[in-house]
Homo-oligomer: A and B are copies of this chain.
Amino acid sequence: MYSTDFTKRLLTYRLSLTHLKKVGLNDVYSHLLAGETSHSASLIRKDLSRLQVKGKRRGGYDIDTILQAINAYFGNKERDRIILAGMGNIGKAIIQNKDFEKHNIQIIASFDLNPAIQRKKFSIPVFPMEKCREIVVNYKIDVAILAVPAFSAQSVCDQLIQCGIRGILNFAPVNLKVPDNVYVSNVRLVDELQQVIYHTKQKRKHGEYS
C-alpha cells in the first residue's frame, strides 16, 4: 500500500490536469505540472512511473492517460456510497457541496439526534441514529463523515463502528479512539487556520514580504 502522501499528490495532479484539459491542453510536461502543483518535476515523473504511465516519444504525457490511471488507482468507476452523522452547520454545508457527486461520491443518508432536523426537507433523508445499522448493513456502507459536536464525537464514532463503519472522516476537534481495523482522517479547521496564521507571522518576521 502506498503512503498517504502519494495518494494526496495524485489528487493534486488530478485537480490540475482536469483544469489544464478544460483550458484546451491534451499533453503536459512534468515541469508544467510541477509549476501547477508545487511538487518537483522529478517527483512527478516518479509518481507517474509508479502509476505505470509512460511518457510520449517526443516528451510529455497524455493528460487523459494520466487521468485514467489516477481514477483507476482510486478504483472509483463505480459510485462510492457513504453516510453522514451530524446535521449541524458543517453537515449541512457538506450535503450541499456538489463536488462530492462530481467525484462519484454519494451521501445516501444522514443521521441526527434532533428530530426537528429530521422533519426538515433536505436533499438526502435524515434518520435517527437507531436506523444506522440497518442502512449500513443493507447498503454495505464502509465510510462515514462525522460532523457532530466535540462532546458527542467519541460516542457517535463508537456507534458508527458498531454498525459496521470502517472509515471515518472526522470534523470534530477530538482525537478519536478507534480499533486498529478502522481508518480515521481528521479535518481540523481550527488547526489548519492556526497553521496558516503561524506561518504567515513567521514569514513577516523573517522579512519575506515585498
Contacts and interface: CB of A to CB of B under 8 A. Distances in A.
Interface residues of A, number: 67
A143 interface: yes
Interface in A124-145: 142-143, 145
Contacts of A102: 190
Contacts of A185: 192, 195-196, 199
Given A82-B197, A99-B173, A203 B190 contact: no
A180 to B, nearest CB: 7
A114 interface: no
A192 B37 CA distance: 17
A194 B97 contact: no
B208 A180 contact: yes
Contacts of A36: 175, 177
A52 interface: no
A201 B15 contact: no
Contacts of A210: 179, 181
Interface of A: 1, 4, 7-8, 11-12, 15-16, 19, 36-38, 74-76, 80, 82, 89-90, 92-94, 96-97, 99-100, 102-103, 105, 142-143, 145, 166-169, 173-175, 177, 179-181, 183, 185, 187-204, 206, 208-210
